[in-house]
Amino acid sequence: MHCPACHTENAVEAVACSACGRALRSDAAEAVAAPPVAASRRSSSRRRRNANADDPSAINDSDNPAAWRAYRVSLWSLVPGLGLFLGPVAVLLGYRAMRSAGDDASARNRAKAAVLFGVLITLTQWLGVALMIYGWKK
Ligand SMILES: [Zn+2]
C-alpha cells in the first residue's frame, strides 16, 4: 500500500505507514483527512460573511427576505382581483420591511417600491370595482 503522505510503500494489510505513521486504511484515512476540509470550508464561509458585514454594498438580497416578500406580494397583486387583497398586504409588508431595513438601502428601496405598488394597485383595482358597482346600479 502506498502512503499518501510520504509515498513510502507499505504492506497491503498495514494500518499505518511504517515511515510516517499516517493511517493507511481508506476509512481511517478519510476520518483523518475530513476534519481539515470541513474546517477550511467553514472558515471560508465565515470569511465571506465577514466581508459582507464590512461592506454594506455587498450584502446579499437574501439577507433581507422581508423586503423581497413585500416586493413579490406587490407584483402578485398586479393580477386583477388578487390586488384587491394583496395590494393592502403588500403595503403592510413593505411598510414593515422598510422600517426593519435599517441601513440596507437596496432593501429599503425595494420595500418602498412594494408600498408604492401596493397603494396604486389597491386604489386602481378598488376603483374598478366601485365603477363596476356604480355601472350596475345605473
Ligand atoms: Zn508515510
Q: Nine-digit cell at 31?
A: 476520518
Query: What tens digit of pLDDT does each residue of 85-118 get?
Result: 999 999 999 999 999 988 888 999 999 999 999 9
Give pLDDT, residue 27. 57
Q: Which three cell numbers stand for residue 78?
A: 398586479
Cα separation of 85 and 62, whole Å?
A: 26
- Note if the pTM is more than 0.85: no
Query: Which residues have CB less than 5 Å away from ligand 1 (the ion)?
Result: 3, 5-6, 8, 17, 19-20, 22
Alpha helix (H) residue ranges in 60-104: 65-76, 83-101
Which amino acid is it at 31? A
Compute, in angstroms, the gap from residue 11 CA to the centroid of ligand 1.
12
Dihedral sign for Cα 123, 128, 132, 135, please: positive
Distance 20 CA to ligand 1 centre (A): 4
pLDDT tens for residues 47-94? 455 444 445 544 455 568 899 999 999 999 988 888 999 999 999 999
Q: Ligand 1 center to residue 31 CA distance, Å? A: 16
Asked if 15 and 28 count as a contact pair (C-beta separation under 8 A), the reply is yes
